[in-house]
Structure 1
Amino acid sequence: MTAGKQTILVTGAAGFIGSFVAARLAGLGHQVAGCDNFNDYYDPRLKIGRVRALLGPLEVPCRAAELADPVQVAALFARVRPTLVVHLAAQPGVRHSLVAPGAYLQSNLVGFGNVLDACRRHHVEHLLYASSSSVYGGNTKLPFSEDDPTDAPLSLYAATNKANEQMAHAYSHLSRLPATGVRLFSVYGPWGRPDMAYFSFTEKLLKGEAIPVFAEGRLLRDFTYIDDIVESVVRLLFKPWTGSDVAAPHWVVNVGSERPVTVLDFINTLERVLGVRAELDFQPMQPGDVAAAHADASRLQAWVGYAPTTPLETGLTLFGEWYNPRSLIRPNAAPSK
């Protein structure tokens, strides 16, 4: 990989993770360009707020682009001419994939396919792309290791992430494109998505509304703070895999806290942070949900010398300090420290 300053394209740069990653890379002195389709899966003003607060001070452009359109992708790569690509644009959400499957096929499969081909044509030095812990499906062996089977997804969202890993491996094999897939575990923190559990739980707690709790609160999740995600992604981006696999310079890496908690324990922590008691509305387990997610982050630690360290209570406290119950749109809020 070329040393020194890089030209880096971050897709999904107005999103939760993408905005923090783009800001961090720009802060390190790299030439960063972002793109996002600014769709209405949740209020687009939150994306605009992230761009203003996190990217604006660093003069990182974030232009509108639809990655499912190959013409727009070709124009994007021709304009930016990236040496590195961080692909974080995707249609997220397990439950939404049950009601809007077309959005996942377009964004997660067609869009990623277009990005892969553009990386091939422009001889990108390293592609880092987001996958998800959901690829482990209903595996009961904990913690999840990258070598565990991922051939039984429980949702379309999970299936598209698994397909992306396979497509990346194929492109990596055919064109020797160095590629790293990061399997992310329950990311949380300031500027997160309103549909995520910690965000919606906070909103309901402060409004005095009941929190829906599925499967009696026994679901196990490996909540990972945004700063730990960003640190892991940046370190991995600048250290592509150099293993002995002759098939392809591609691999996948878990990024998770290794400290899973039940949803009930998570709610108890949130209650302490906010100083509010929760009213719980117990409901059956939802289609597509997995019973447990627990990361084995030893591969990450061994390769880049880092693994997530932020305790849940610390991360939720930082989120609580950022959250403004009067408005979800905070264009002047400072980024997480």
Structure 2
Amino acid sequence: MNILITGMAGFIGHAVAKRLAGDGHTIVGIDNLNDYYDVGLKQARLEDLAHFANVRFERLDLADDAGMQALFDTERFDRVIHLAAQAGVRYSIDNPRVYAQSNLVGHLNVLEGCRHQQVPHLIYASSSSVYGMNAKVPFETRDNVDHPISLYAATKKSNELMSHTYAHLYGIPTTGLRFFTVYGPWGRPDMALFKFTRAILEGRPLSVYNHGEMSRDFTYIDDIVEGIVRIQDVIPSAHREWTSEATVPDVARAPFTLYNIGHGSPVSLMDFIRAIASATGRTARCDFQDMQPGDVPQTWADTEALFAVTGYRPRVGVDEGVARFVDWYRDFYQV
């Protein structure tokens, strides 16, 4: 298949491209290579893909209307895996307009390209952040998500609504994946694992928010990739029996669906830190602080719906996944 991957220089995009290229698919990847975090790491991910003859990269911003239109005009995609976005809950508090451009205008341009080309299946990244302050766990895609507590979360909920509209109006099959705290080799420097590993190895204290009273459904990158690869061929169809009174947000009278993609077993933040300390062979010194604006105390994915259609359950636990990351980090940064 000919597959477009947006955000190919990103953490998840790089991993998905590597897997699908290795499976023999033709990959067209785009990324704007912005400086939200180290561009050198993004370039290194692209270099890691350079030996694949069936991978082509184009530097392109999602919000570039003309550029995105030209891309879809010159290619015929069998799948679009839309992973590019401006990430980060806290960053959205101080830089809201960046999120509007990348996550709203950019998502619209992807939808428009899929509409004009009648792409057989659009898979796009949503986020566990849409659940906001929901107290009921585990989080289910049928839960109410009308109360986001960060602009980032609001843009991801908007992406789901926009995708439903295009599925309804134009028959574009769309699948939204709500990612839960993805971690592993080649990860993002703004994520806890990267920051904590760097601080421990440099002998600095860790900034631990909410005094450590948090838990996350940490999901290893290989498990995320396997879920994406399998779901791309599970093309949603319209649920003709659906009614508005049913208020079930993950199905519709259009070819639209949503899934949680996570490990399905939350880990306390302090246990996560202990795993990092063990993998590094160092002591973690914690600087306990109050909860940050836009953050939530816990996440926990109900992944039964995804398992039902793909037959896959995550296999990598935190101790193993963290150790793999630390090995990669030491090798990549030669520390």
TM-score (norm 1): 0.94
Partner residue of 2:51 out of 54, 57, 80: 57
Matches within 5 A, 1:182-331: 182-242=177-237, 244-245=239-240, 247-324=253-330, 327=333
Counting only pairs closer than 5 Å after superposition, residues 32-181 of structure 1 correspond to structure 2 as: 32-53=27-48, 55-59=49-53, 60-181=55-176
> Any idea what the Cα deviations from partners look like across 1:86-128, whole Å, max 9, x if unmatched?
0000000000001111110000000000110110000100000
Name the SS for the 1:61 alignment partner.
strand
CA displacement at 1:243 relative to structure 2 = 5.5
SS at match of 1:58: coil
For the pair 1:20 / 2:11, whether they are aligned, the reply is no
Secondary structure of the residue aligned to 2:47 is helix
State how far apart, in whole Å, the 1-side matches of 2:147 and 2:201 are: 38
CA distance in 2, matches of 1:223, 1:19: 19
Seq. identity, % = 50
Give the letter aligned to residue 230 of structure 1.
Answer: V
Tell me if structure 2 keeps the 8 A contact 1:19–1:50. Answer: yes
Structure 1 vs Structure 2 CA RMSD: 1.4
Rounded to whole Å, the distance in 1 between the matches of 2:332 and 2:227 is 33
What letter is aligned with 1:251? Answer: T
The structural deviation recorded for 1:242 is 3.2
Change (3 A) 1:80 1:56: same
Displacement of 1:22: 1.1
SS in 2 for 1:318: helix
Deviation at residue 244 of structure 1 after TM alignment = 2.3
Change (3 A) 1:256 1:138: same
Asked if structure 1 preserves the Cα contact closer than 8 Å seen for 2:238 and 2:253, the reply is: no
Distance 1:187 1:122 in 2: 31
Q: Which range is displaced more, 278-287 or 59-68?
A: 59-68
Q: Distance in 1 between matches of 2:76 and 2:192?
A: 37
Q: What amino acid sits opposite 1:263 in the alignment?
A: L
Distance 1:316 1:62 in 2: 30
* Matching residue's letter, 1:142: V
- Measure, in 1, the Cα distance between the counterparts of 2:266 and 2:328: 24
* 1:80 Cα offset (Å): 2.5
Change (3 A) 1:226 1:134: same
List runs of 5+ in structure 1 lacking aligned partners. 1-5, 331-337
Query: Residue by residue, what CA displacement relative to the aligned partner does 1:283-316 show, whole Å, maximum 9, x if unpaired?
Result: 0000000111000000010011012121100001
Of 19-28 and 282-291, more deviation after overlay is shown by 19-28
**Contact 1:205-1:276 within 8 A present in 2 as well:** yes
Contact 1:255 1:307 in 2 (8 A): no
Three-state SS of the structure 2 residue aligned to 1:89 is: coil
TM-score scaled by structure 2? 0.94
Q: CA deviation at 1:79?
A: 2.5
Question: Please, which moves more after superposition, 116-125 or 78-87?
Answer: 78-87
- Which whole-Å CA distance do the structure 2 matches of 1:43 and 1:280 have between them? 25
Amino acid aligned to 1:112: H
AA aligned opposite 1:160: T
User: How many angstroms apart in 2 are the aligned matches of 1:155 and 1:77?
Assistant: 32
One-letter amino acid of the structure 1 residue matched with residue 301 of structure 2: A
SS of alignment partner, residue 89 of structure 2: coil
Structure 2 unmatched ranges of 5 or more: 241-251
What displacement does 1:326 show? 7.7
Residue 205 of structure 2 contacts residue 287 of structure 2 at CA under 8 Å; is this kept in 1?
Answer: yes
